[in-house]
């Protein structure tokens, strides 16, 4: 396979081997053995977690960081679409901490813009029902967890680790990315977490429904009962 495109993400392992905890990340890869690396290191393994990409060590156009026991380089001008998965699930475009926009699917099942793939099948009673594809059920469960966490003040009350895991799961539906790479790219800011969570539960769609009912009440001469603001 000819490799002529610089990889958006590159790992460098100074001892020449992939740690067992990261083996899952390199099922498909492009590699260069015995390469130069950061801080004048030599003889390490330079590897990209994508096929057909050029893993070349260079300081020009890349930012290198030591994270979780390995070195990782991210190309300064890369676009999220370069690491898109094959699924291409629709959703909201959300600006994350790297100042790029990433597509986040709507996973709360009863919302207007629910976007995870579904199929229709007969249930035990012989009735046709819509079901979410198996690989997305965990994301649907996560979205329900978010919704159930809304407190009396309309605030999402989630543990920090839960927020991070939910956001990573949502990102990994449309992008070939893991937690180390999210850290290297600086994706997860407070604003980014909020944007991802609001996309997952379709806050915008919820606001539009409320606004529709408020407009309908006004036309019918009923009093305004709220501002139409969704939980944040």
Comparing CA positions, the residue from 133, 180, 129 lying closest to residue 21 is: 180
> Do 103 and 73 lie in a common domain?
no
Q: Write the pLDDT tens digit of every residue in 76-96.
A: 999 999 999 988 899 999 999
Residue 17 domain-assigned (yes or no): yes
pTM of the model: 0.83
Q: Are residues 34 and 132 in the same domain?
A: no
Is 224 inside any structural domain? no
Same domain as 86, residue 167: yes
For residue 231, what pLDDT is reported?
39
Please tell me the predicted confidence (pLDDT) of residue 54.
84
Q: Based on the domain organization, do 56 and 104 belong to the same domain?
A: no
Final residue in a domain of this structure, among 20, 44, 78:
78
In a domain, 142, yes or no: yes
Domain termination residue (choose one: 78, 101, 136): 78
Domain-embedded: residue 197? yes
Report residue 34 as tokens: 């015995």
117, 170: one domain: yes
pLDDT of residue 32: 85
Give a yes or no: residue 214 inside a domain.
Answer: no
- CA–CA dist 56, 3 (Å, integer): 11
Give the per-residue pLDDT at 229.
41
Residue 131 placed within a domain: yes
Pair 177, 87 in one domain = yes
Assess whether 97 and 45 both reside in one domain: no
The reported pLDDT for the residue numbered 222 is 57
Over residues 170-217, the pLDDT tens digits come to: 999 999 999 999 999 999 999 999 999 999 999 887 666 556 445 444
- Do 101 and 72 lie in one domain? The reply is no
Same domain, 42 and 58: yes
Q: What is the pLDDT of residue 24?
A: 94
92 & 71 share domain = no
35 occurs within a structural domain? yes
Are 39 and 144 in a shared domain?
A: no
> pLDDT below 70 — which residues of the chain?
1-4, 151-155, 206-232
Helix axes 137-148, 160-174, angle to 10 degrees: 140
3-state per-residue secondary structure call for the chain: CCCCEECCEEEEECCCCCCHHHHHHHCCCEEEEEECCHHHCCCEEEEECCCCEECCCCCCCEEEEEECCEEEEEECCCCHHHHECCCCCCCEEEECCCCCEEEECCCCCCCCCCCCCEEEEECCCCCEEEEECHHHHHHHHHHHHHHHCECCCCCECCCHHHHHHHHHHHHHHHECCCHHHHHHHCCCCHHHHHHHHHHHCCHHHHHHHHHHHHHHHHHCCCCCCCCCCCCC
Structural domain containing residue 151: 82-204
Same-domain check for residues 116 and 19: no
Report yes or no on 218 lying in a domain.
no
What is the model's pLDDT at position 177?
96
Q: How many domains does the chain have?
A: 2
């Amino acid at each position: 396979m000819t490799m002529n495109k610089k990889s958006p993400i590159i790992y460098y392992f100074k001892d020449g081997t992939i740690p067992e905890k990261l083996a899952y990340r390199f099922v498909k890869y492009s590699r260069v053995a015995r390469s130069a690396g950061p801080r004048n290191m030599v003889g390490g393994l330079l590897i990209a977690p994508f096929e057909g990409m050029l893993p070349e060590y260079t300081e020009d156009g890349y930012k290198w960081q030591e994270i979780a026991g390995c070195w990782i380089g991210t190309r300064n001008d890369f676009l999220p679409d370069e690491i898109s998965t094959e699924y291409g699930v629709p959703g909201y475009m959300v600006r994350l901490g790297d100042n790029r926009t990433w597509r986040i699917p709507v996973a709360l099942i009863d919302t207007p813009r629910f976007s995870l793939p579904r199929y229709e099948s007969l249930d035990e009673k012989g009735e046709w029902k819509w079901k979410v594809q198996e690989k997305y059920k965990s994301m649907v469960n996560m979205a329900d967890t978010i919704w159930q966490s809304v407190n009396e003040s309309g605030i999402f009350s989630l543990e920090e680790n839960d927020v991070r895991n939910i956001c990573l799961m949502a990102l990994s539906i449309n992008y070939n990315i893991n937690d180390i790479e999210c850290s290297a790219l600086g994706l997860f800011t407070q604003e980014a977490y909020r944007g991802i969570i609001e996309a997952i539960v379709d806050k915008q769609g919820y606001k539009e429904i409320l606004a529709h009912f408020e407009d309908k009440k006004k036309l019918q001469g009923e009093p305004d009962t709220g501002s139409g603001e969704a939980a944040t």
